[in-house]
Amino acid sequence: MDLQSTADRSVRLSRQREAALAKAVELVTELKYTEAAETLAPLVKDFDAVGNLTRAAEAMFWTAYCHEKLDHRTQAEDLYRLVVRKYPQTAASRQAAGRLSRLEPE
């Protein structure tokens, strides 16, 4: 495969990932947490693989958020912590820290 084709393919995949994330976030907005979590599951790894840490963090954050809303508290906390630790420079990390502080007992 030549470089142009590789580039085209890369762009196409990137758009697919973005669209998948957007769809998952729409599902969260519609309060369809379980469906959103299933859609989000492979996206963290996909974004990590291409080095898009911001999107990876968002995907992981929203996954944790869905688990929080589904009362999977332990899972939610673990994921929030992972976001904070793995993606410290992102807005998702900040949000995760905020939610984690509200989840943990005072």
Q: Which residues bind another protein (CB under 8 A)?
A: 22, 25-26, 28-31, 54, 58, 61, 65, 69, 91-92, 95, 98, 102
Closest contact distance (angstroms) between CB of 45 and another protein is 20
Amino acid at 10: S
| Choice between 50 and 103, CB closer to another protein | 103
| Choice between 6 and 50, CB closer to another protein | 50
Give the DSSP letter string of the chain: --HHHHHHHHHHHHHHHHHHHHHHHHHHHTT-HHHHHHHHTTHHHHHHHTT-HHHHHHHHHHHHHHHHHTT-HHHHHHHHHHHHHH-TTSHHHHHHHHHHHHHS--
| Choice between 15 and 45, CB closer to another protein | 15
Distance separating alpha carbons of residues 9 and 36, to the nearest angstrom: 26
| Choice between 4 and 29, CB closer to another protein | 29
Closest contact distance (angstroms) between CB of 71 and another protein is 13
Closest contact distance (angstroms) between CB of 94 and another protein is 8
